[in-house]
């Protein structure tokens, strides 16, 4: 008769222990949740309005709060709605949801991609412009967009030096720094349309070189001779590979001898001979003179009036050339030729040799 009593006691003991669990331990497991935004990658649109995306839960949307890391995601902390168009682009975010009772915590990933960029085309009618010394000439150049596009954004330029209006894209030739290749970039107000074009404000100079008169010297760009013996033709300063445009070239210095005034070609040896005759006994080895060349050319359907200067030296012998002048010339040289080196402006033309030959 004791066996049944033993089982009965054991049954009541288990019943009491089980029913008292809630008083002695927390046996409820943490609830599991899951949510997302229907996608991971989102791209800002061009509507100019909000692009709102709400979270989607596996079950009924619970009450709670949302937070995102890192900072930059436009997130409503109560609803979990994100505004794609107002968030920092090219960033991956972790969005975390915490239920109101603190028992549900889950997260998802959101990536805001870079917006799609529309290409556009514009130019200034040409890419090369020449400053004019005639201030009465209209010098403001306006951008022209393809497909009659209306610009509503801003213009920027690199490097600095172009006198550019950031709102209209207009630039002034005469007040810009010459000899620089500029890149003008247009960006629309919404940031989704970007295009650029090239602008060069040109100056006209001579090829810089030591000329040995006893040598057969020739230097040509694009097949056009710009320096043959002592006959020099002006070049475009920003691009040594481009001869200066045809027009009318002259100098107020009566010693300058032009071979062809329309091309600006000058006979430097003959010019030095004239200077020697002018100065007579004051002409010596190491003599130099700054010469100004005036020009009138046509560019972009407008007349451009300007001038450039160069230094013309004469040395009877090569070993009489000062070391500082050699360093100056060679330090800025880029294009070697027979008898010396060619360099970009400022121009210098040391002539070495017997002027009587």
12, containing H or E segment: helix 2-19
Long-range CB contacts (within 8 A, 24+) of 302-307 = 302/137, 302/138, 303/132, 303/134, 303/137, 304/130, 304/131, 304/132, 304/134, 304/137, 305/132, 305/133, 305/134, 305/137, 306/130, 306/131, 306/132, 306/133, 306/204, 307/133
Identify the pLDDT of residue 20. Answer: 42
Single out the residue of 11, 104, 24, 107 nearest to residue 67, CA to CA: 107
Single out the residue of 134, 88, 80, 152 nearest to residue 114, CA to CA: 88
Q: How far is residue 22's CA from residue 8's CA, in Å, rounded to a whole number? A: 24
- Which residues of the chain register pLDDT less than 70? 1-32, 133-138, 179, 207-229, 237-241, 300-302, 327-357
Torsion, Cα of 253, 256, 259, 260 (10° steps): -20
pLDDT tens for residues 250-294? 999 999 999 999 999 898 888 888 898 899 878 888 888 888 999
67, containing H or E segment: strand 64-69
Identify the pLDDT of residue 67. Answer: 95
Identify the pLDDT of residue 111. Answer: 96
Identify the pLDDT of residue 9. Answer: 43
Exposed / middle / buried, residue 204 (Cβ in 10 Å: 0-12, 13-18, 19+): buried
Give residue for tokens 């998802």.
Answer: 108
Q: What is the DSSP string of 271-301?
A: HHHHHHHHHGGG--TTEEEEEEEEEEEEETT
pLDDT tens for residues 141-157? 899 998 778 888 999 99
- At residue 187, what are phi and psi to the nearest 5 degrees? -130, 125
Query: Measured between alpha carbons, how far is residue 318 from residues 88, 210, 315 in Å?
Result: 66, 10, 7
Identify the pLDDT of residue 223. Answer: 52
With 0.75 as the threshold, say if the pTM is over it: no
Identify the pLDDT of residue 6. Answer: 45
Identify the pLDDT of residue 18. Answer: 42
Single out the residue of 313, 312, 316 nearest to residue 354, CA to CA: 316
Q: Spell out the residues 6+ positions from residue 265 whose beta carbon is closer than 8 angstroms to its own.
A: 231, 232, 233, 258, 259
SS (H, E, C) 91-108: EEEEEEEEECCCCCEEEE
Q: What is the DSSP string of 214-251?
A: TS--EEEETTEEEEETTEE--EETT-TTSBPPSEEEE-
């Amino acid at each position: 008769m004791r066996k049944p009593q033993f089982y009965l006691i054991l049954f009541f003991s288990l019943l009491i222990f089980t029913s008292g669990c809630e008083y002695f331990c927390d046996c409820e497991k943490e609830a599991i949740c899951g949510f997302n935004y229907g996608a991971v990658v989102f791209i800002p649109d061009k509507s100019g309005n909000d692009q709102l995306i709400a979270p989607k839960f596996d079950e009924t949307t619970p009450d709670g709060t949302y937070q995102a890391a890192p900072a930059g995601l436009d997130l409503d902390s109560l609803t979990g709605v994100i505004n794609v168009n107002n968030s920092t682009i090219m960033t991956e975010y972790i969005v975390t949801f915490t239920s109101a009772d603190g028992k549900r915590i889950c997260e998802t990933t959101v990536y805001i991609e870079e917006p799609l960029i529309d290409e556009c085309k514009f130019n200034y009618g040409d890419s090369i412009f020449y400053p004019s010394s005639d201030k009465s000439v209209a010098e403001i150049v306006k951008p022209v967009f393809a497909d009659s596009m209306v610009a509503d954004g801003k213009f920027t330029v690199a490097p600095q030096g172009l006198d550019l209006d950031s709102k209209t894209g207009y630039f002034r030739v005469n007040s810009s720094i010459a000899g620089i290749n500029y890149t003008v970039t247009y960006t629309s107000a919404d940031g989704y349309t970007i295009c650029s074009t090239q602008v060069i404000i040109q100056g006209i100079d001579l090829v810089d070189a030591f000329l040995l008169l006893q040598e057969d010297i020739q230097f040509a760009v694009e097949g056009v001779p710009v320096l043959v013996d002592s006959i020099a033709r002006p070049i475009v300063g920003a691009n040594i590979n481009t001869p200066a445009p045809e027009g009318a070239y002259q100098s107020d210095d009566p010693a300058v001898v032009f071979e062809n005034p329309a091309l600006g070609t000058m006979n430097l040896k003959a010019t030095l001979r004239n200077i020697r005759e002018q100065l007579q006994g004051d002409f010596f080895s190491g003599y130099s003179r700054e010469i100004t060349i005036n020009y009138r050319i046509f560019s972009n359907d407008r007349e451009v009036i300007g001038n450039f200067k160069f230094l013309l030296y004469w040395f009877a012998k090569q070993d009489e050339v000062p070391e500082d002048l050699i360093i100056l010339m060679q330090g800025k040289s880029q294009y070697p030729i027979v008898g010396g080196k060619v360099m970009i402006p400022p121009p210098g033309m040391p002539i070495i040799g017997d002027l009587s030959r």
